[in-house]
Amino acid sequence: MTDRRSGGPGRPDAAGGTPHRVARVFLIVLVGAALQLLVQTVFARALPKDEVGLISLVLGALPLLSTITILGQDSSIVRFLSRSASGSHDIRGYVGRVVGVSAPSGALVGFAAALYYDLQTLAAAAAILLVASQNTVTLVTSVARGRHLYERAMAGARLPFALAAVALVLIWAFDALTLTVGLWTLIGAFLLSGVLCSSWSLTGLAPGAVRVPRSVIQEGLLFFGLSLSFSVMTAADKLVIGRMMTLEDLAVYATVFAVMRAFDFTFYAIGYVLMPRVNALGRVPLGRLNAWIAGIAVLMTAGYLLLGDDVVRLLYAGRYDAGSYLILPFALSGVLKLFYSVPSSVIGGRLPRAALRTFLWFNIGGMVLNVALDIVLIGYMGLLGAAVATAIAWGIRLAGGYVILARFRADLGPRPTGSGTTQNTEGNAHGSQDEEGV
């Protein structure tokens, strides 16, 4: 894959081609994945299953609650910055205004979630503070991602769990880990990460003279719908299990799923680089991308089917072996998700706003179907029903993405010189510098 242009601040030039950037991001993701799995392992080994289930509920709801309150601005600013050659926009002011809205709204939805699940006081506080902190981290790292600083952005995004893992291992080593200590550790790690990212946004971002166009906010609402449907799909199974089954059941499901997160983290690494980078490519090489992903999927699936049982037994000292039958449906969902990274990245990063709207409706339908399937299949099949429902929903979502790529295939070919700059067109969906800003 060859870049269409090179040079210029923030452009993906000498840093290497797309596979190399994905590989570097993936190395960071692997470290983050190991640390996040370490967090789950420490809790699973040190706490009773009902307490592990409670923490899994709080962490499982975090992506959904964060999505609700950041209103798609994380993806929208990535799309804007990756398509804009100008460095004169007031990104610092934009970040400050979005955080000023998302932090209190994050506290509000965290409180609502605590009431809905009747969480104890400390668990409720954790839900509230983790959402507010996560929003700050996500928005600031999205700015770096939009400027093609993928490695730096991913490192910042993984910072909360990295800090939590280090602290929890030390606490566990001194045999001092309880539910209360664990929740306070998570709160401290996420708050510190939010403070560090806020500090960088104040010192590392120039104020700029031109306000960010209002169209960024408008497109954010489309991304909000897409992100919401994605977050519901990633959290629905756990949230429905939390209502229909016991916390012990949720602990088994979430703990085995934690071992399968290699699929998720690979998906994140590909999409993290590919979404902004498709604007630096003359032609989107769909066939090459899918062949590359197929090779990765075969290797990962074979590894999990051969070694997954042993990994679960080794990590959790045999306490969660009863959930090993979930590995196969989890792997199926993981493969579908890997392939989904291509249409979701291309539609989100490169195609016109009309494609975003169509994709939004596909995903809303998939979200509703996912929740309905979870409720029905969990009632009939228990935890296996939740895993099967998720795989079906990902298959439908993937098919919808490729239907849209076929419809807008003309936008996948070579683009005229200068199309990476901000334009006031429906195709680029961004206003000019004269447009009223936000």
Q: What share of the chain is helix, strand, coil (3-state, %, to 5)?
A: 80, 0, 20
Per-residue pLDDT tens digits for 19-57: 778 888 888 888 887 888 889 889 988 999 889 888 988
Say how many domains are in the chain: 1
With respect to residue 224, please indicate whether it lies within any of the assigned structural domains.
yes
Rounded to an integer, the average pLDDT of 158-186 is 93
Tell me the percentage of the chain whose pLDDT exceeds 70.
87
| Three-state secondary structure call for residue 408 | coil
Looking at the DSSP assignment, which residues form a beta bridge with residue 210?
A: 89
* Cα(33)–Cα(277) distance, integer angstroms: 23
CB 377 within 8 A of CB 329: no
Which domain range does residue 365 map to? Answer: 18-409
Q: Give just the sign of the alpha carbon dihedral 208, 210, 216, 217.
A: positive
pLDDT at 180 over 80: yes
Determine the straight-line distance between the first and last CA of the chain, rounded to whole angstroms: 36
pLDDT at 11 over 80: no
How is residue 424 annotated by DSSP? Answer: B
With respect to residue 430, please indicate whether it lies within any of the assigned structural domains.
no
pLDDT value, residue 4: 38
With respect to residue 73, please indicate whether it lies within any of the assigned structural domains.
yes
With respect to residue 322, please indicate whether it lies within any of the assigned structural domains.
yes
pLDDT value, residue 404: 92
Query: Of the ranges 185-189, 217-221, 344-348, 431-435, which is most confident?
Result: 185-189
Per-residue pLDDT tens digits for 382-402: 999 999 998 998 898 899 899
Average pLDDT, the chain: 82
Cα within 13 Å of Cα(419), Cβ side: 21
Name the band, by pLDDT with cuts 50, 70 and 90, for residue 171. Answer: very high
* Cα(238)–Cα(158) distance, integer angstroms: 22
* Cα(27)–Cα(48) distance, integer angstroms: 33
pLDDT value, residue 7: 37
pLDDT value, residue 98: 86
The residue type found at 109 is V
Name the band, by pLDDT with cuts 50, 70 and 90, for residue 415. Answer: low
Cα within 13 Å of Cα(281), Cβ side: 25
With respect to residue 12, please indicate whether it lies within any of the assigned structural domains.
no
With respect to residue 303, please indicate whether it lies within any of the assigned structural domains.
yes
Rounded to an integer, the average pLDDT of 166-171 is 94
* Cα(130)–Cα(132) distance, integer angstroms: 6
**Matching residue, tokens 């081609």:** 17
Q: Is 4 exposed, middle or buried (0-12, 13-18, 19+ CB in 10 A)?
A: middle
pLDDT value, residue 13: 44
Rounded to an integer, the average pLDDT of 176-200 is 92
pLDDT at 239 over 90: no
- What is the enclosing helix (H) or strand (E) of 198? helix 179-204
- For the entire predicted model, the pTM comes to 0.70
Residues in the chain: 438
pLDDT value, residue 229: 79
With respect to residue 194, please indicate whether it lies within any of the assigned structural domains.
yes
* Cα(39)–Cα(56) distance, integer angstroms: 11
pLDDT value, residue 117: 77
pLDDT at 312 over 60: yes
CB 111 within 8 A of CB 69: no
Higher pLDDT, 436 or 191: 191
pLDDT value, residue 331: 94
Per-residue pLDDT tens digits for 101-155: 887 887 788 788 888 878 778 888 898 899 888 988 999 899 888 888 888 888 9
* Cα(38)–Cα(164) distance, integer angstroms: 10
* Cα(27)–Cα(29) distance, integer angstroms: 5
pLDDT at 78 over 60: yes
